[in-house]
Chain A
Amino acid sequence: MDVRRALRNWAYAHPRVLLIDAPGHRDLRWVVESAVEDRAWEFAASPAGTDILIVLGQPSAELADAIEVIWSQVPEPRHRVAISTAATISVELDAALAALAIGLVLGAESPRPPDAEQALAAAKPAETQPSADMGDMGDMGDEDPGHDMGGHGTHHGGNDVGDMGDMGDEDPGHDMGGHGMHHGGAVAGLPMAQTAPDRDGLQLDSLTIALGPVLPGWPTGLVLRAQLQGDVLTDLQLSWMTGDNPRGNSSEPAVDQQAAALDDLARFLVVAGWPTAARDARRAREQLSSSDLDVRARGQVAARRVGRQVGRSRVLAWSIRGIGRDQEAAPAGHPQQHPGPVDVLSRLRRLCEHAAQPSNRPPVTPDSLEDLTSALNGQELAAARLIMAAAALHSADTPAEQAATGV
């Protein structure tokens, strides 16, 4: 038996971690990220690939509902930790690892974890109040759209921008009326995709989707709801899940702008698919936050290196050039398009400059959600993710109640 236990402990010595930072906890996230990387643990990209779920700070009620749904999608054995101060991180992480190994032993006897369908059914009673409907959107926002559509289908049966005004409305008939068409039946409670005119005026399948509030390199708590036709987003709406939590409104504590730029850069690189450069940026950020002068000096060198490497990368520039440029200013396909408000490449280069050397100015002035919404409307999914990442949004940058609707 000892051999088996030793084997289990060995297998779970480097678990995969899903970090969910409640708004306004950037400093705490940095410390936890460093601790996770020092221990050679990995970052998970989705609930399915998660062993330990770490919640930083105090999430709002809506975000907490969304976290419950995400938690229901994490396979056994699993463990969940809430961390609210930097002082206890090391202890909490050690305890999480031990609990994971114990859970592995207990999990062998316990019944299978509830699958998504059961979890959804269990989550129902919590969503009876009108205000809790946003919690349902939390379901939609997690990383399991199949599940999302379940939450969606059982409540609304359909959803469109005209309906977004009355969030509390639970009457499916009303929603369907707003849509003006019926979907072709349902499978397992999920509505089928419906057809709608796409941006070229053709009838194309249209799927109601939601991205967020938790995704890699995504500002936690932001939810993007849209119609997806092919991979083009239309009828877009962005909103924060910070809700009634007053902490979400408080501005983040003043941080070193260079370290903040490195953090934004690392998050962008995760989305752009450059994990080694993202790792270098995170390490430089960690070294810059050190109290040791030698380490900080090394951090400056590392920051300059990663800033230059990314800023001068021709391959990355070639891959992301033109995304977020103003399509109306010049004919499509013309190489010299007018740089739009969220031109991804020029934003990335500015971010790299700020990451490479000390600076007191914030690298990017945050966009309003309205600007972002209009920039994202009609974009492809991949381009939309890059635009969002380059916008380097933080929940504290924008008022909590702010929400924007696209046209």
Chain B
Amino acid sequence: MSEVLPQPATSVSAWGLAPAVLAVVTAGLLLGLVFAAVDRAIVTGRGFRAGGEPLRSSARLLLEQPRTTLAPDRLLWRVGGATVLVTAVLAVAVVPLGERTLWSTSADLVWFNAMEALLWAAVWLVGWGPNSLHALVGGYRFLAQGLAYELPLMFSLIGVGVAAGSLRTTDVVAAQSGLWFVVTMPVAFVVFVASASAFAFWGPFAAPAGADIAGGVTSELSGVDRLLVSAGRAVFLGVTAAMSVALFLGGQSGPWLPGFGWYALKTVAVIVALVWCGRRLPVLRPDRTVEVAWTVLVPVTLLQTLVVSVLVLSGFYA
């Protein structure tokens, strides 16, 4: 870490470790709260009045006594639930909030993707743990869905990395000073945001927690365990919205307002658009989405990456 180039300013180096970690955890929870509030407002059709519901149900779940099932795999069940929230918050570490990330690795995009990939294990364990049919079916549905979204998601991230010439999120934001990446890679942007709803099994991709299997992976969760999983899902969705702003919408760039204001504004706009579109659709059955992912999305995102590569070679992003 002793480059000649100016070291990317991380919030750890600027504020010290503890305040920076606290700030990032708060930011993550806040993002999750905003997402959950917008989601409740649109699902219930009650608008702003439903905005406080996520806080209320969090308090309720904290007061609730946990229950268990017959012969559960208690350790793995608990670990799975906690992992959902922990990985979601860890993903915030590489989001350039306020123009700096919590820590900066040379592979921020890989870190983000790794946190999301850990969900495969976490959600499956939440389904496996209670020794219950509906939860297990939900867990397997999540794995099937993962087969659908994972490759298109990776290809859309690769496009961003190739265009920026770096996997560091602060570099990606800097590379968009001329033109936002969403202009040259709209497909990658849409796939990235859609994948977020798939790995948080929300909206049209909520089959792993579907009502037809009584809530699926969430069917046996109560108390704190349920809170950890639902908060983790909301934080992941909020974080992905914030990440999509950094990767495709130019981060904090914009006139008049301070950078942070623009960043927050764009993030909220992405969240509202995502919830509004996602809640207009019914759940897509995983067997159909896998088909589309492999026959349509994988070729299309590959093509997108090819276009980006050709643009890079022609010096378009320089």
Chain A residues with a Cβ under 8 A of chain B: 7-8, 10-15, 40, 45-46, 48-49, 51, 73-77, 104, 107, 112-113, 115-117, 120, 143-150, 187-190, 207, 209, 215-217, 228, 231, 269-277, 279, 313, 315-316, 318-320, 381-382, 385-386, 389
Contacts and interface: CB of A to CB of B under 8 A. Distances in A.
Contacts of A188: 70-71
21 contacts: A8-B63, A46-B219, A48-B67, A48-B215, A48-B221, A75-B67, A113-B65, A115-B69, A117-B71, A147-B69, A150-B71, A188-B71, A207-B133, A231-B137, A271-B212, A273-B211, A274-B281, A274-B283, A276-B279, A279-B43, A279-B44
A115 B222 CA distance: 13
A46 B215 contact: yes
Interface of B: 42-46, 49-50, 53, 56-57, 59-60, 63-72, 130-134, 137, 140, 204, 206-207, 210-215, 218-223, 226, 279-285, 288
A381 B213 contact: yes
B75 to A, nearest CB: 15
Contacts of B68: 115-116
B309 to A, nearest CB: 33
A277 B214 CA distance: 18
Contact of B211 (A14, A77, A217): A217
A275 B278 CA distance: 11
Which 6 pairs between the two chains have the least Cβ-Cβ distance?
A: A273-B283, A145-B133, A188-B71, A274-B282, A11-B59, A45-B215
A152 to B, nearest CB: 11
Contacts of A113: 65, 67
A78 B279 CA distance: 30
A282 B38 CA distance: 22
Nearest to B286: A382
B287 to A, nearest CB: 8
A368 to B, nearest CB: 23
Nearest to B72: A146
A49 B215 contact: yes
B69 A144 contact: yes
B63 A77 contact: yes
Contact of B67 (A73, A231, A279, A385): A73
Contacts of B220: 46, 48, 144, 146
A7 B46 CA distance: 23
B133 A275 contact: no
B65 A187 contact: no
A74 B222 CA distance: 9
A273 B212 contact: yes
A216 B53 contact: no
Contact of A77 (B43, B64, B284): B64
Nearest to B216: A45
Contact of B133 (A73, A228, A272): A228
A67 B226 CA distance: 23
B132 A144 contact: yes
Contacts of A209: 133
A179 to B, nearest CB: 20
Contacts of A270: 211
Nearest to B225: A48
A116 B214 contact: no
Contacts of A149: 70
Nearest to A270: B211
A143 B282 contact: no
B131, B206, B207, B279, most chain A CB atoms within 10 A: B131
Contacts of B44: 40, 279
Contacts of B64: 75-77
B33 to A, nearest CB: 16
A117 B68 CA distance: 9
A117 B50 CA distance: 38
